[in-house]
Structure 1
Amino acid sequence: MSAPPKTSPTFTKPQKRWLGIIGLAAILTFFGALLLATYAAVNYKYERAQRSDAAPMVFTVPKGAGLSSIATRLEQNELIDSAFVFKLVTKLRGNEANFKAGEFLVDPKLSMAGVYDALANGKAVLYPFTAPEGLTSAMIVRSLDGVPTLIDDDPAVPPEGTLLPETYLTPRGMKQSELLQKMALAQKQLLDDLWDNRAPNLPIKTRAEAIILASVVEKETGVGMERGKVAGVFTNRLRIGMRLQSDPTIIYGVSRGEILLNKAGKRRGIYRSEIDRKTDWNTYQIDGLPKTAICNPGADAIRAVLNPDETDALFFVADGTGGHAFAKTLAEHERNVAKWRKIERERRQR
C-alpha cells in the first residue's frame, strides 16, 4: 500500500500575518544589533586614546570652517586616526556647530573625543602684546603693525590718553581695532574702580582731568616710587594756582609727543623759542592742565594722581641717578638745578 502524498502546511490569514510580524521583528532585531555593535565599535574608536609619539601642535580653526574641512585637516596633521569617524560621531552627538575659531594646542595622544573637546571647549592659544606706559595713541597704533597675529584693519587713532598701557593676551586673527577697544575698556574699568576711592579735596574734578594729569606725571618720571610724590607736587601747584611748568607738555605742543630731532636727524633738547611758544599744552605758558592728555598713562600714574603723596614740595629736577631731587622753596630748587647742570657738563666732557 503506497504512502499518502505530502502536502504543504496551510496557514490561515491571521497566522500568515503573525509569521510576517515575527520575521520582520527578527530582521529588525538583527540589523538593530548590527547597528548597535557598529556604533559601539565606532564610539570605542572615537573615545580611546590614540597612539602617537608626536608632540602637541597648534591647530588653527578658521572663522566659518565646517566640520568636514576641520576633520580632514585634523587627519592630514595626524591629530586623529579617521576623519570619517570624527565627523560621524560629532554629527550623531549634535556637536557639529560647536567649534570655535582660533588657534588651539592639540595633543595627538588625546582620543578623538579629547581633540573635539580641545577645539570646542578649550582655551585658544593667546599671544602677548605689551603697550609700554607713556606712549601716545599714535605710537600705540603704529606698534600694532609689528604684531603678525593681529589683522590690520586700519583703525583710527583713538583720542589721546584713552588707552591703558599693559600686557594684553590676544588670539591670532584679532583685529587691531578690537584690541584698541579692549585697551580703552580696560582704562575705563580701572578709572571707575579708582574714582570713588580718590583722596578728598583734589584740584581735579573729573575723570578726564585725572587722566590728563596722570599723563603729565607719567612723562615726568620713569621711577615708579616717585609717581606719588611727583603727583603731590603737581597737586600742590594746582591748588595754589601755580603753573605746572612740565617740559613734556612743551614737547607735546611741538611734536604731539614725538621725539624732537635736529636738522641732522639726531635727538635734541627743547629750544628756548619752544618754551616761550604758547600752545594748548605748554604748561609754562598756560594756567592749569593741558588741553588733552599728552600720552597714555599707566595704572600706577592714574593711582598716583587720585591719591597723591602728601608733600610740601613745589619743585623737582633730575638728580643724575634717574630720579629727581624735590624742594619746598625756590632757593633750594635752584641749588638742585645747579647740581644737575654740573652733572650734565661732566657727562658731556666724558
Structure 2
Amino acid sequence: MWRSIASNALTLLIVALVAMAGAIAWGKGQYTAQGPLESAICLRVQPGSTMTRVSRNLQDQGAVSSGSIFRIGAEYTDKMNQLKAGAFLVPEKSSMAEITDIITRGGASTCGTEVVYRVGVTRTDVLVRELDPATQSYSTVAEFYPDVTGNEATEIPAKYTEVREASDTRFRISVAEGTTVWRVIESLKGVDFITGSVEVDEMPAEGTLAPDSYEVKVGSDVDELIARMTAAQDKRLAEIWDTRADDLPISTPEEALILASIIEKETGIPEERREVASVFVNRLNQGMRLQTDPTVVYGVSNGVGFLGRGLRQSELQSDSPYNTYVIPALPPGPIANPGLASLEAAVNPDETPYIFFVADGTGGHAFAVTLADHNANVAKWRQIEAERAN
C-alpha cells in the first residue's frame, strides 16, 4: 500500500515538474516572442514609477499581452529594479524582452517632447516639437523668439512653460553653419535651461565653435557646452586636414579654417561648396585677390551684429586686413564658424578652371573662366535684381 502511495506521489510530482517546466518554457516564449503592438508608441515613465505600474500601462496600450508575464520576465532577468524615467519609443511588434531593455538601459529619452534652441546667422528662435511615434517625425507645436541681442523677442507660449518643467522633455541647442562666435555667445545668454555665465573675459577664437546640434540636460553648465563645441571643431579640423589634397595653396589647418569660413559664407548650396572652393584655390594659386564680399563685411562689423546693408565703396577700398579686394591673400582669421562640408571643400576642392562666380538668381551661382563671361553673368544678375526691385 505504502509503495503504491509513494509511486502515485512520485508520478504526480513528475507530472507537476513537467507542467511547471512547460509553463516556464511557455512564459519565456511569450516574453521573447513578437509583441502585439500594431504601431509604435511613446511610453512615458515618470520618476518614481514602478515596473508594476509600467506593465499595466503597457497592457492598457496593447503593447504586451500580459502584464504579469512582463513583470515575471523583468524579475527573472534581474531588471525589475532598473527602471529609468523618461519617454521611450517602443517600436511596433516589440517583444516584452525588447521593451524591458528599452526602459531599463538608461540614456536620453527617445521620443515625446523636445525643445530646440536654434542659433541662426541673423536670429535665434526656440521650437517645441512633438514626435509622432507612428511616423517617427517631429512637428512644431510652439515657437518663440527669446530676448537676445539681434532678436525682436516674442511672448513665451504656455506650451513651453509646461514642457520646460516636464521630466521627460529633451533639450537641444542647435548652432547653424556660418554663425559668428559673437552670435553664438550672445544667443547662449538667452537659454534658460542651462546655467553658468557667458560673460567671458576672452571670446573663443572666431571659427572655433562647431556648428551642430548639442543635446543638453537642464541645469548643465554653459561653459562645458562651449568647451564641447570647441573640442568638436578641433577634432573635425584635425581629421579633415589629414585628408587634404596635394598642392593646395594653404599650408596649415588654421588657413584651411579661414578658407572654409569664406566658402561657408559664399554659398548655402551643399553641392556648390567644392566648386566655390575651386575658385578661391585657383585665385590663390594664380596670385589673384579673392575679392569676396563676406570678408569685407566681417572687417566692417568685426563679426558683431548683422550689417544689414550693402557695402559702401569706401569699405571696398579700405585698408582693412579683411578687405580681400585689396590684400592678395587670405584674411588673417576666419569670418564665421564653418560646418563640416565647408571644411571638407576647403581641403578637397573640385578641379575646375573657374576664377569667377556670381549669384544666378536661383540661390546658386554662375561660374566663369574669363572676365568677359563673368561680366555677362553679372549683367544677368543685375537684371534679375532690377526685376525683383520693381
Deviations 1:159-182 (A, max 9, x none): 101111011111222111111110
1:310 to 334, 339, 351: 351
With over 3 angstroms needed to count, the CA separation of the structure-2 counterparts of 1:260 and 1:184, relative to structure 1, is closer
Residue 213 of structure 2 is matched in structure 1 by 167
Q: With CA pairs under 8 Å and 6+ residues apart, which has the higher RCO, 1 or 2?
A: 1
Classify the secondary structure of the residue corresponding to 2:257: helix
More helix by share: 1
Residue 189 of structure 2 is matched in structure 1 by 145
With over 3 angstroms needed to count, the CA separation of the structure-2 counterparts of 1:58 and 1:226, relative to structure 1, is farther
2:106 to 117, 122, 130: 122
Residue 42 of structure 1 is matched in structure 2 by none
In 1: Cα distance, 2:255 partner to 2:382 partner = 33
Give the letter for the 2:302 counterpart: R
Number of matched residues? 246
Residue 44 of structure 2 is matched in structure 1 by 56
Deviation, 1:187, is: 1.1
Give the alignment's TM-score, normalised by structure 2: 0.58
Deviation, 1:260, is: 5.3
Deviations 1:105-151 (A, max 9, x none): 289xxxxxx9xx96xx7214542211000000010112223333211
Deviations 1:250-279 (A, max 9, x none): 100001235655xxxxx3211111111111
> Would you say the 8 A contact 1:260–1:269 is kept in 2?
no
Q: Does residue 234 of the first structure (1) align with residue 222 of the second (2)? A: no
More strand by share: 2
2:364 to 323, 326, 343: 323
Larger Rg: 1
> Would you say the 8 A contact 1:104–1:124 is kept in 2?
no
In 1: Cα distance, 2:185 partner to 2:53 partner = 38
Give the alignment's TM-score, normalised by structure 1: 0.65
With over 3 angstroms needed to count, the CA separation of the structure-2 counterparts of 1:299 and 1:149, relative to structure 1, is same
Structure 1: stretches of 5+ with no match in the other structure: 1-54, 60-73, 81-98, 108-113, 262-266
Give the letter for the 1:268 counterpart: R
Classify the secondary structure of the residue corresponding to 2:366: strand
Classify the secondary structure of the residue corresponding to 1:292: coil
> Would you say the 8 A contact 1:133–1:298 is kept in 2?
yes
Classify the secondary structure of the residue corresponding to 1:139: helix
In 2: Cα distance, 1:259 partner to 1:342 partner = 30
Give the letter for the 2:183 counterpart: M
In 2: Cα distance, 1:128 partner to 1:137 partner = 18
Deviation, 1:79, is: 8.5
In 2: Cα distance, 1:154 partner to 1:79 partner = 43
Moved more, 186-195 or 142-151: 142-151
- The RMSD of aligned alpha carbons is 2.7
1:276 to 297, 309, 317: 317
Give the letter for the 1:329 counterpart: T
Residue 241 of structure 2 is matched in structure 1 by 195
- Identity value in percent: 46
Q: Does residue 294 of the first structure (1) align with residue 335 of the second (2)? A: yes
Give the letter for the 2:44 counterpart: P
Structure 2: stretches of 5+ with no match in the other structure: 1-42, 55-81, 89-99, 110-169
Q: Does residue 105 of the first structure (1) align with residue 86 of the second (2)? A: yes
